Amino acid sequence: MNEIGHFIGGRKVPGTSGRFADVFNPATGEVESRVALASPAELDQAVAAATEAQADWAAQNPQRRARVMMRFVALLNEHMDELAQMLSREHGKTVEDSKGDIQRGLEVVEFAVGVPHLQKGEFSEGAGPGIDMYSMRQPLGVGAGITPFNFPAMIPMWMFAPAIATGNAFILKPSERDPSVPIRLAELIMEAGLPAGVLNVVNGDKEAVDAILSHPGIAGVSFVGSTPIASHVYATAAQHGKRVQAFGGAKNHMVVMPDADMDKAADALIGAGYGSAGERCMAVSVAVPVGEATADRLVDALTPRIESLQIGPYTAENVDFGPVVTQASLDKIRGLVERGIAQGADLVVDGRNFRMQGYENGFFMGACLFDRVKADMDIYTQEIFGPVLSVVRAGTYEEALGLANDHEYGNGVAIFTRDGDAARDFAARVQVGMVGVNVPIPTPLAYHSFGGWKRSVFGDLNQHGPDSIKFWTRTKTVTARWPSGIKDGAEFSMPVYHQG
């Protein structure tokens, strides 16, 4: 059986802990390989390699670092098909969806090509008599990223591209469920010219994560996962003196106003709710139609669309979505659907008994649609992370707005309407970090920052865009005065450089 180890110091290395996890093909349910789970000693090796490489890498001028990113972009495009097939085999999403995963990561690498401009400091000439002041943005040192299974290409690149471009070395701890693509990305960026040790990939589970959070050689940590773990990561890493950004769960609402184009709204919900089997942190899992007539029209439009969705393995053509990632995920989703029924929601479309002919052992879940869901039901309060859409009927616009504002998560939200006043008011008042107006998945492009509010995020700086440059660098401010501006004698009062 194929064994996946680590990538440390510029080369693949086997695991030495003696611990492994199975890596499944979600479409067949079969174990295709096993991945090594790192010990703290193996993390130490990665930190040592990163520390040794970082100073020389940071000393490279920004243009040289940018050129590595440029060559990496070219290699990602060249190997797109290979990466997408590899990703789909371990994750289960369709090949086209996998290409989207890679593309959205690639776009952050393209953004990082601009590091010579992005990392510039500021300069003030003549701040006082003979005094100049300037600031520099310098790398933290060694950073680490802990990434989830659902985007094994995109989220690692969201983290390591800006970190490396700004002069840091990096240790990536990807999900042990689909570890092949992160290893391949490390190989490709080495081929692009990155020095050995600047990017290391350490596979592992909680033991590796805990070692990262407490390791004195790691200065910054970025995490994406569930809210309980994000909270733990933030508190633990901060307690150990690290800069931390930790992104948690989501329950993304889409408000449908009475004036919305119902066909466009329904199509948007289908793609945003069921794409990638709902295993996206930006998936729309709650539709909020305003008014009973709007709700009836929406459910009528959704039902036949959902019933006609094509589900199958990534190797099949014309498939809308594939299996979920593991049997445990499938069991959790089915359990939440059962609780939704027990708590009184109407299951309009029931996908619990979906079976894929020839793939009976795969982790397939059919699409489900709930109507008349209430705010105290588990299917509303919890992140399902599966192909389940809940319709929560709101009597008024204010009630719909309140649902999004009152939920503990604040990752993404959308409104579908033809009314500019309603859209503008919604964007201004909704307590959510990313807002779509007639856009169901409002994931910002690479040159804006990605991040939610409330219990969807822990930390002050978001991913990619300008925030990523700030997160992976520290500001140093220099006040300089040359001999011609220095008075004779000691000065004991607080320096004042300019008298008004």
User: What are the pLDDT digits (tens) for 453-463?
Assistant: 999 999 999 99
User: Which residue from 150, 142, 130, 315 is spatially nearest to 224, judged by alpha carbons?
Assistant: 150
Output the CA–CA distances (angstroms, integers) from residue 427 to 215, 294, 416, in the order listed.
41, 21, 12
Its CATH architecture, for the domain 252-437, is 3-Layer(aba) Sandwich (3.40)
At residue 128, does pLDDT exceed 90? no
At residue 13, does pLDDT exceed 70? yes
> What confidence score (pLDDT) does residue 485 get?
60
User: What are the pLDDT digits (tens) for 262-291?
Assistant: 999 999 999 999 999 999 999 999 999 999
At residue 421, does pLDDT exceed 80? yes
Q: Which two tokens stand for residue 225?
A: 């996962």
- 194 and 169 in contact (C-beta within 8 Å)? no
Output the CA–CA distances (angstroms, integers) from residue 254 to 188, 203, 316, 428, in the order listed.
39, 36, 31, 16
Amino acid symbol at 84: A
> What confidence score (pLDDT) does residue 489 get?
73
At residue 498, does pLDDT exceed 70? no
DSSP 14: -
Tokens 């789970």, located at residue: 37
User: Which residue from 470, 474, 479, 473 is spatially nearest to 123, judged by alpha carbons?
Assistant: 479
At residue 183, does pLDDT exceed 70? yes
User: Which residue from 334, 474, 383, 434 is spatially nearest to 148, judged by alpha carbons?
Assistant: 383
**Cβ neighbours of residue 495 under 8 Å, at least 6 residues apart?**
none
How far is 228 from 225, CA to CA, in rounded Å? 9
Sheet holding 169-173, edge to edge: 11-13, 6-8, 199-201, 169-173, 142-146, 220-224, 243-247, 457-458
Give the pairing type, strands 142-146 and 220-224: parallel
CATH, range 2-248+456-477: 3.40.605.10
Mean pLDDT of 189-203: 98
User: What are the pLDDT digits (tens) for 397-413?
Assistant: 999 999 999 999 999 99
- 295 and 66 in contact (C-beta within 8 Å)? no
At residue 362, does pLDDT exceed 70? yes
At residue 391, does pLDDT exceed 70? yes
At residue 382, does pLDDT exceed 90? yes
Amino acid symbol at 229: I
Arithmetic mean of pLDDT over the chain: 96
Task: Report the predicted TM-score, pTM, of the whole model to 2 decimal places.
Answer: 0.95
Active centre residues (catalytic): 281
- 286 and 248 in contact (C-beta within 8 Å)? no
Identify the band that residue 497 occupies on the pLDDT scale cut at 50, 70 and 90: low
> What confidence score (pLDDT) does residue 129 get?
84
Sheet holding 368-371, edge to edge: 346-349, 368-371, 388-391, 284-289, 252-256, 412-416, 434-437
Q: 486 versus 285: which is more confidently predicted? A: 285
**Cβ neighbours of residue 91 under 8 Å, at least 6 residues apart?**
26, 98, 149, 150, 152, 177, 178, 325
Return the percentage of the chain with pLDDT > 90, whole number. Answer: 95
Output the CA–CA distances (angstroms, integers) from residue 420 to 423, 424, 431, in the order listed.
5, 6, 19
DSSP 441: S
Q: Which two tokens stand for residue 37?
A: 């789970």
Identify the band that residue 146 occupies on the pLDDT scale cut at 50, 70 and 90: very high
Residue 401 burial (10 A CB sphere; 0-12, 13-18, 19+): buried
Burial 333-365 (b: 16+ CB within 10 A, else e): bbebbeebeeeebebbbebeeeebeebeebbbb
How far is 194 from 200, CA to CA, in rounded Å? 11
DSSP 464: S
User: What are the pLDDT digits (tens) for 18-71?
Assistant: 999 999 999 999 999 999 999 999 999 999 999 999 999 999 999 999 999 999
Residue 9 burial (10 A CB sphere; 0-12, 13-18, 19+): middle
Sign of the torsion formed by the C-alpha atoms of 461, 467, 472 and 477: negative
How far is 10 from 146, CA to CA, in rounded Å? 19
Tokens 């940590």, located at residue: 221
- 187 and 110 in contact (C-beta within 8 Å)? no
How far is 224 from 396, CA to CA, in rounded Å? 34
Return the percentage of the chain with pLDDT > 70, whole number. Answer: 98
At residue 145, does pLDDT exceed 80? yes
Domain boundaries, the chain: 2-248+456-477, 252-437
Mean pLDDT of 232-248: 98
User: Which residue from 203, 249, 229, 230 is spatially nearest to 385, judged by alpha carbons?
Assistant: 249
How far is 84 from 407, CA to CA, in rounded Å? 35
Mean pLDDT of 73-94: 98
Identify the band that residue 486 occupies on the pLDDT scale cut at 50, 70 and 90: low
